[in-house]
Amino acid sequence: MSREYKVLTVFGTRPEAIKMCPLVQELDRRPSLHSLCCVTAQHREMLDSVMAIFGRRADFDLDIMEPRQTLSTITSKCLLGMEGVLEEVQPDLVLVHGDTSTTFSGALAAFYHKVPVGHVEAGLRTWDKWSPYPEEMNRRMVGALADLHFCPTAANRDNLAREGITNGVFLTGNTVIDALRTTVRDTFTFQEAILNRLDYQNRRVILVTCHRRENYGQPMVQIMTALRRIADAFPEVELIYPVHLSPVVQETAHRYLDGHPRIHLIAPLAVDEMHNLMARCYFVMTDSGGLQEEAPALGKPVLVLRRETERPEAVRAGTVKLAGVEEEAIFSLAARLLTDLTAYADMAHAVNPYGDGHACRRIADAVEWYFGLRSQPPQPFSP
């Protein structure tokens, strides 16, 4: 009987939870692994909502969230909180995800305790230190600290190679596609009443999200102004915007978009509601990373409300366009999708560059291989 290896998974924000819960469940099922989960709760309500859907309780909860928290506060509270957890658990491996402050401090805390680090969603890059901010540097620093790198795509693997990282690299696909496979159903009934009332066949339902720090201020004002113009110019449009709980985002969205009969600012959606809304909408406008991966898999065009993206695969496949953060460019790209059926059809085809729904199995296999519990590493994901 092989010994149980302790794997501690650490996450704290909504997108990390959506992408890590399926992996934790896969690790939980492996008899040779003792899977434990620590949440920093960098997000609170938005994290708890995801944990409830997946039905996994955290083994440790650092509960660090506070209103308008700064990057330094988040990082230092996570780092200090992780100390006690690492001393108690003495894990054989710590897994972190992506590029948030939780990701960076989780990896750094593990390094300080000389615990190996596995980085899920490794190798995404814009090569611009300031955009996305601070995520680009978080993921680069975690790449430098990590021993195992789980890359969603071949381009991500090549990015790591440019930095000289070639050992312990696995091509797995993105775990978000694993999550998506469990949530979308034709018969889904929404809890959020407005989503059941919408006429998805005869209206043009546009799903919007916007929350990135580098968009705070003028870019977000331009985005909101463009959104209002779109709703004014096209009477068939219904704009659904679940607003992130960040006070900066809440204030801006309500200041510019309140009071319009066809702009619906709603509370953040539970992840299954979000995925099923995405499956029914006409197209998506977003600065989110996760939505850029999910919407193409569901055949929905995406206009990205950013200047760059670390997810070029769906842009190359033609389902995602970079709209930027200028009002005029955003308005005209949306107007084209609403008026030109050929342009719409060119973008509205389902593509799966980010995964095949088996990323968690590959990552768990790679972890077992790392511990010498398997003779072969997993076969790489191929789109």
CB of 242 to ligand UDP, least distance (A): 3
Segment 295-314, which members bind ligand UDP (CB under 6 A)? none
Q: Binding segment for ligand UD1 among 29-37, 94-102, 234-242, 310-318 (CB under 6 A)?
A: 94-102
Q: Contact letters (x/-) for ligand UD1, 245-284, by CB under 6 A?
A: xxx-------------------------------------
CB of 59 to ligand UDP, least distance (A): 23
Q: Binding segment for ligand UD1 among 87-95, 98-106, 217-225, 354-362 (CB under 6 A)?
A: 98-106
The partner in contact with residue 69, picked from ligand UDP, ligand UD1, none with C-beta cut-offs of 5 to 8 angstroms by kind, is ligand UD1
* Count of residues of this chain found to bind ligand UD1 when the rule CB under 6 A is applied: 25
Contact 361, 173 (CB under 8 A): no
The partner in contact with residue 246, picked from ligand UD1, ligand UDP, none with C-beta cut-offs of 5 to 8 angstroms by kind, is ligand UD1
Q: Binding segment for ligand UDP among 66-74, 217-225, 267-275, 337-345 (CB under 6 A)?
A: 267-275
CB of 268 to ligand UDP, least distance (A): 4
Say whether residue 77 binds ligand UD1 (CB under 6 A): no
| Catalytic residue from among 213, 260, 262, 336 | 213
Tell me the three-class secondary structure of the chain, residue by residue: CCCCEEEEEEECCHHHHHHHHHHHHHHHCCCCEEEEEEECCCCCHHHHHHHHHHCCCCCEECCCCCCCCCHHHHHHHHHHHHHHHHHHHCCCEEEEECCCHHHHHHHHHHHHCCCCEEEECCCCCCCCCCCCCCHHHHHHHHHHHCCEEEECCHHHHHHHHHCCCCCCEEECCCHHHHHHHHHCCCCCCCCCHHHHHCCCCCCEEEEEECCCHHHCCHHHHHHHHHHHHHHHHCCCEEEEEECCCCHHHHHHHHHHHCCCCCEEEECCCCHHHHHHHHHHCCEEEECCHHHHHHHHHCCCCEEECCCCCCCCHHHHHCCEEECCCCHHHHHHHHHHHHHCHHHHHHHCCCCCCCCCCCHHHHHHHHHHHHCCCCCCCCCCCCC
Contact 132, 98 (CB under 8 A): no
Say whether residue 268 binds ligand UDP (CB under 6 A): yes
Q: Which of 6, 44, 260, 262 binds ligand UD1 (CB under 6 A)?
A: 44
| Catalytic residue from among 135, 136, 272, 293 | 135
| Catalytic residue from among 14, 56, 97, 211 | 211
Segment 148-177, which members bind ligand UDP (CB under 6 A)? 176
- Pair of tokens at residue 19: 């992408």
Q: Cα(223)–Cα(256) distance, rounded to whole angstroms?
A: 10
CB of 274 to ligand UDP, least distance (A): 4
Say whether residue 219 binds ligand UDP (CB under 6 A): no
> Residue numbers of the site for ligand UD1 (CB under 6 A)?
13-15, 42-46, 65, 67-69, 71, 74, 99-101, 134-135, 211, 213, 244-247
Residues that are catalytic:
99, 121, 135, 211, 213, 244
> Residue numbers of the site for ligand UDP (CB under 6 A)?
14-15, 18, 176, 209, 211, 242, 268-269, 271, 274-275, 288-291, 294
